[in-house]
């Protein structure tokens, strides 16, 4: 079984099997939180316009513009807010940039696409191993084409869990992520240093960073289960056996 980590969503990448998409600050953490709060489905859209097109349907609109809730949206992209949101049994339309781009890239070729974060790290790694036959790939979202310390560190945490559970062959990206994981004993440190955290601080949302740094708090793993238009539909994966 191959263990692969891609630090950035290069358009030419192809995936043979299972992909764990990581955008730890904040899209994939927030996605797990919406499922924890009881959401029935998540629609990932790549633009605010695509999200707004769902407005007439019975959905909850969540998204961000410069880190904040866009006009006309019900919610922002804060995982703290998502966890408390009244979304039980409902569909949440999430508009994000980097995480969605990575998820769409994975969806083009992968057999299974899961959304992973520190928050659901253990459950996501277990689910990936349950589904995989030849490869688990961890695809980091990064930030506008630049690598993220936060996402690659999270990939290292996932990779370490995976290697604890199964003998796997780590390629270059996995070795880099594992090195990063082992260099930072406290997850809050690499997350706080990242450009993503700095951007949140700029808009007064720095409390989201320690939230995103919590490890293995949730067993909710979003799994790709269809599309509606260009939006990707994620639902809660069945419990890993």
- Which residues make up the interface to a second copy (CB under 8 A)? 5-8, 10-13, 143-150, 152, 171-173, 175-176, 179-180, 182-183, 190, 193-195
If the CB atoms of residues 59 and 193 are measured against a second copy, the closer one turns out to be 193
Task: Give the Cα separation of 190 and 208 in Å (integer).
Answer: 14
> Taking CB under 5 A as the rule, which mask of x and - marks residues 41-80 in contact with Ca ion?
----------------------------------------
Beta strands, E only, 26-132: 41-45, 59-63, 91-95, 112-116
**Which letter, b or e, does each residue of 96-118 get, where b requires 16 or more Cβ atoms within 10 Å of its Cβ?**
bbbbbbbbbbbbeebebbbbbbb
Cis peptide before 137 (omega within 30 of 0): no
Residues that contact Ca ion, how many (by CB under 5 A): 5
H or E stretch at 170: strand 169-170
Shortest CB 189 distance to a second copy, Å: 10
If the CB atoms of residues 67 and 173 are measured against a second copy, the closer one turns out to be 173
Question: Does the protein bind Ca ion through residue 191 (CB under 5 A)?
Answer: no
Which of a second copy, Ca ion, none does 23 bind, CB closer than 5 to 8 A by kind?
Ca ion
Task: Give the Cα separation of 205 and 209 in Å (integer).
Answer: 8
What the block records as the tokens of 234 is 């994620």
Decide if 31 contacts 42 (C-beta within 8 A). yes
Show Cβ contacts of residue 193 under 8 Å, excluding neighbours closer than 6 positions.
149
Identify the residue among 8, 15, 20, 23 touching Ca ion (CB under 5 A): 23
Question: Does the protein bind Ca ion through residue 149 (CB under 5 A)?
Answer: no
Which of a second copy, Ca ion, none does 11 bind, CB closer than 5 to 8 A by kind?
a second copy
Task: Give the Cα separation of 182 and 59 in Å (integer).
Answer: 41
If the CB atoms of residues 117 and 126 are measured against Ca ion, the closer one turns out to be 117
Question: Does the protein bind Ca ion through residue 25 (CB under 5 A)?
Answer: yes
Count of Cβ atoms closer than 10 Å to residue 148 Cβ: 27
Which of a second copy, Ca ion, none does 194 bind, CB closer than 5 to 8 A by kind?
a second copy
Which of a second copy, Ca ion, none does 171 bind, CB closer than 5 to 8 A by kind?
a second copy
Which of a second copy, Ca ion, none does 85 bind, CB closer than 5 to 8 A by kind?
none
Angle at 25 between CA 21 and CA 29, to 5 degrees: 60
Interacting span for Ca ion (CB under 5 A) from 41-49, 96-104, 202-210, 229-237 = 96-104
Question: Does the protein bind Ca ion through residue 96 (CB under 5 A)?
Answer: yes
Q: Kindly list the residues in this chain that would bind Ca ion in the complex (CB under 5 A).
A: 23, 25, 27, 96, 196
């Amino acid at each position: 079984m191959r263990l692969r980590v891609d630090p950035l969503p290069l358009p030419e990448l192809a995936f043979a099997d299972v992909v764990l998409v990581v955008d730890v600050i904040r899209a994939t953490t927030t996605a797990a939180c919406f499922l924890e709060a009881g959401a029935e489905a998540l629609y990932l859209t790549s633009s605010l316009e695509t999200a707004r097109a769902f407005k007439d349907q019975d959905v909850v609109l969540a998204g961000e513009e410069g880190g904040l809730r866009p006009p006309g949206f019900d919610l922002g992209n804060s995982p703290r807010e998502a966890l408390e949101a009244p979304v039980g049994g409902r569909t949440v339309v999430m508009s994000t940039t980097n995480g969605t781009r990575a998820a769409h890239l994975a969806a083009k070729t992968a057999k299974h696409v899961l959304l992973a974060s520190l928050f659901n790290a253990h459950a996501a790694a277990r689910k990936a191993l349950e589904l995989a036959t030849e490869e688990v790939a961890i695809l980091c979202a990064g930030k506008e084409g630049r690598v993220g310390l936060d996402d690659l560190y999270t990939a290292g945490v996932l990779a370490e869990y995976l290697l604890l559970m199964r003998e796997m062959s780590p390629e270059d990206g996995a070795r880099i992520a594992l090195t990063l994981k082992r260099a930072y004993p406290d997850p809050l440190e690499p997350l706080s240093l990242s450009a993503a955290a700095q951007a949140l601080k700029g808009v007064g949302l720095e409390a989201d960073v320690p939230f995103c740094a919590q490890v293995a708090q949730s067993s909710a793993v979003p799994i790709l289960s269809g599309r509606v238009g260009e939006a990707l539909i994620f639902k809660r994966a069945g419990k890993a056996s």
